Amino acid sequence: MQNYFSLFQLPQQFDIDLALLNTNYRVIQTESHPDRFVTATSAKKLSSMQIATTANEAYQTLKNPANRAIYLLKLQNIDAISETNTVLPATFLMQQMEWRETLEDAKQAKDINALNLLLSEMRAETARLQANLVDVFDKKHDLIAATDATRKLIFIDKVCADVSKSIATLEDNL
Amino acid sequence: MAYSDKVLDHYENPRNVGSLDKNDPQVGTGMVGAPACGDVMKLMIKVNDDGIIEDAKFKTYGCGSAIASSSLVTEWLKGKTVDEAYAIKNSAIAEELALPPVKIHCSVLAEDAIKAAVADIKAKQLAAAQAA
């Protein structure tokens, strides 16, 4: 069965060639572009549209590291974002609390420097987690560790997005 | 999506926000998180020598339903025994707050926070009993 990785002729692993992903995505988009099917049968029109939609969904999934990790786990029948699994390492949750508190304080104080500092700290952690994901997914094939790291990455992405949003809001009001 | 009046009330006037001394042997801490929405919840309970929960505080970063769920349980917990607390079900929280299906996981988070806090205080009590 074809999956998102084989669709773009990529190996099914966390560490993928993003340039190749972009290139192969564009090839599929061009081949399935509606303009090429103006005079085609309605069946052909429909199937090209389905290919374009799937390719877009696949691209969005593989491009983003957290989504790619969630998808890799899903292919192994593991639901990383299960709503009934709320247990995470206490130290990690404590760190989340601290980041959230720093974000709240900096937002209230309208302190852009503090927010930028927080963002760079979190980006460093994101890079560390992604390196860890390459290790556990592609080298060790340790799905338990991979699930753990994936869940952490999803959390950090959310806080990162909130920090970026706060920075943007403050800058708009300068 | 519209929040129910009860959710809004807890969201706008959250009860028992804050922390207790985590090093206090009578205080149990429960921390849980939901990766799907990035919510984090910390619940602390203070249990007296009779096993009754005297005080409860929470700190939640998340959506209105997650804040309301944790605020509500801090009210429910006070005066209960730890075993009664452990028996609180997320369905009761969801029903009280009239949570829509997509927000049920917020009540699951609150139930799990209670269980984690109770487990923590029991572990502390056990450690103290063994040390004595």
What is the value of ipTM here, to two decimals? Answer: 0.75
Facing A86 at nearest CB: one of B38, B59, B112:
B112
Query: Do A4-63 and A90-172 come out as alike in CATH topology?
Result: no
Contact A86 B109 (CB under 8 A): yes
Contact B38 A83 (CB under 8 A): no
pLDDT at residue A150 is higher than 60: yes
Question: Tens digits of per-residue pLDDT, B12-53?
Answer: 999 999 999 989 999 999 999 988 778 899 999 999 999 999
Q: What is d(CA B59, CA B66) in angstroms, rounded to the nearest whole number?
A: 10
pLDDT at B125: 92
Question: Mean pLDDT over residues B49-59, rounded?
Answer: 96
Domain chopping of chain A, boundaries: 4-63, 90-172
Q: Quick check: is B63 catalytic?
A: no
Distance from CA of B28 to the nearest CA of A (A): 13
Question: Tens digits of per-residue pLDDT, A151-169?
Answer: 999 999 999 999 999 999 9
| Chain A environment of B34 (Cβ under 8 Å) | 83, 86
Give the domain A4-63 fold: Helix Hairpins (1.10.287)
Contact B35 A97 (CB under 8 A): no
Question: Mean pLDDT over residues B40-69, rounded?
Answer: 95
pLDDT at residue A66 is higher than 80: yes
pTM: 0.83
Question: Tens digits of per-residue pLDDT, A69-90?
Answer: 999 999 999 999 887 777 788 8
What residue in B sits closest to A153 (Cα-Cα)?
A: B35
Question: Mean pLDDT over residues A28-52, rounded?
Answer: 90
Residue whose C-alpha is closest to residue A118's, from A93, A100, A94 = A100
Distance from CA of B10 to the nearest CA of A (A): 20
**CB within 8 Å of chain B, chain A residues 128-167:** 151, 154-155, 157-159
Q: How is residue B66 written in tokens?
A: 């997650």
- CA dihedral A101→A157→B64→A98, nearest 10 degrees, is -20
| Chain A environment of B35 (Cβ under 8 Å) | 80-81, 88, 151, 154-155
What are the backbone dihedrals phi and psi of residue A13, each rounded to the nearest 5 degrees, phi first? Answer: -155, 170
Burial of B22 (0-12, 13-18, 19+ CB in 10 A): exposed
pLDDT at residue A47 is higher than 70: yes
- For the domain A90-172, what is the CATH superfamily, name and number? HscB, C-terminal domain (1.20.1280.20)
pLDDT at residue B1 is higher than 70: no
The proportion of chain B whose per-residue pLDDT surpasses 90, expressed as a percent, equals: 84
Distance from CA of A89 to the nearest CA of B (A): 9
pLDDT at residue A101 is higher than 80: yes
pLDDT at residue B6 is higher than 60: yes
Kindly report the average pLDDT of chain A as a whole number: 93
Kindly report the average pLDDT of chain B as a whole number: 93
Q: Is the distance from CB of A155 to CB of B32 less than 8 angstroms?
A: no
pLDDT at residue B119 is higher than 60: yes
Q: How is residue B19 written in tokens?
A: 């922390």
Query: What secondary structure does DSSP assign to B42-83, as a single string?
Result: EEEEEE-TTSBEEEEEEEEES-HHHHHHHHHHHHHHTT-BHH
pLDDT at A102: 93
pLDDT at A76: 95
pLDDT at A82: 80
Q: Quick check: is B106 catalytic?
A: yes
Question: Mean pLDDT over residues A28-37, rounded?
Answer: 90
